[in-house]
Amino acid sequence: MLTPRDYDYKLTGTPVGEVRITVLGTAQDGGFPQPGCRKECCNEEPGEALERYPVSLGIVGEDGTYHMIEASRMMGKQFRIWQKEIGVYPSTPTSIILTHTHLGHIDGLGLLGKEVMGAKGVIIHCSKSVNELVENTPAYLELINQGAIKTRIWDQDTAFQPTKDCGFSISPIQVPHRSELSDNHAIIIQGNDKNLLFMPDHDSWTETLNHQTIREWLSDLEIDIALIDGTFWSSDELPHRDMKEIPHPTVQETLERLGRKLDSDPEIFFFHLNHTNPLCYPTSEQSMELQELGWSIANEGDSFRL
């Protein structure tokens, strides 16, 4: 935990002076263990795997403002993770950036309403199609009518600062992913010293990349830290499902494309782990294989300074 010496403090106790990112969730939309799962993957002895929450990031700006990427229904527990890392309880976020509208990424918006937080004026940064879904969903529209949230549509592929003096900017990049509800974006968080890519969902590397390799793409985007889609380790994890209906590049494929980590590579962390993914277990053969190649698995509480 940080001490007051790590930051200058406002009278409110909010840490200021640098941009700090905390990983608040690393699981696919259902979390881990997943509700309703009776399989071995979700019924091992307690302590053999880390509990994981739907993907989310917490960002503290240089001005002491709090920002989140994604609105998870597990926000209460995620705030405690955030508090443990930054030393103060974040309370209501100043803004929330939404990548798309699948379960786990947006379902926590309701917590901002009068039934729970009673928030006022939380800015929801999103694409036009995400905004349309929010305004056409009665429960979310009620949040607007209450004044709990205000939506702000971003300009495609244009960077913006959530607050004037936050010390970082957000660059949304549209990437292909099931669009039955809305479009989908990866997010680049650009700090003074480093850039971080947040990309929990995409359909395939073939569709996402406009370069020959993942390395070239990340280099062109000037990425130092990348949190990327690690939903499934392999394509045989859900034998009862048609994987074409839930497309994601497998971790196996991504590792084949990347090979062993080079000194010049950015730090890459796999997250958005499905409950069937053996990467949920730190001591699994697959976890060991990934780490032996030099790559990492994201965990709740991981922290980065930009």
Give the global pTM: 0.90
pLDDT at 102: 78
User: For residues 266 and 268, what is the distance between their CA atoms, to the nearest angstrom?
Assistant: 6
pLDDT in tens, the chain (306 residues): 333 333 333 334 455 568 999 999 999 988 888 788 878 777 765 455 678 999 999 999 999 999 999 999 999 999 999 999 999 898 899 999 999 887 888 999 999 999 999 999 999 999 999 999 999 999 999 999 999 999 999 998 789 999 999 999 999 999 976 777 788 899 999 999 999 999 998 878 888 888 789 999 999 999 999 999 999 898 877 657 655 666 779 999 999 999 999 999 999 999 999 999 999 988 899 999 999 999 999 999 999 999
User: For residues 40 and 140, what is the distance between their CA atoms, to the nearest angstrom?
Assistant: 36
Q: In total, how many domains does the chain have? A: 1
Domain range for 18 is 4-305
User: For residues 106 and 201, what is the distance between their CA atoms, to the nearest angstrom?
Assistant: 14
For every residue of 120-186, DSSP letters joined together read --EEEEE-HHHHHHHHTSHHHHHHHHHTSEEEEEPPTT--B-SSTTSS-EEEEEE-----SS---EE
The β-bridge partners of 67 are 59, 95
CATH of the domain at 53: 3.60.15.10
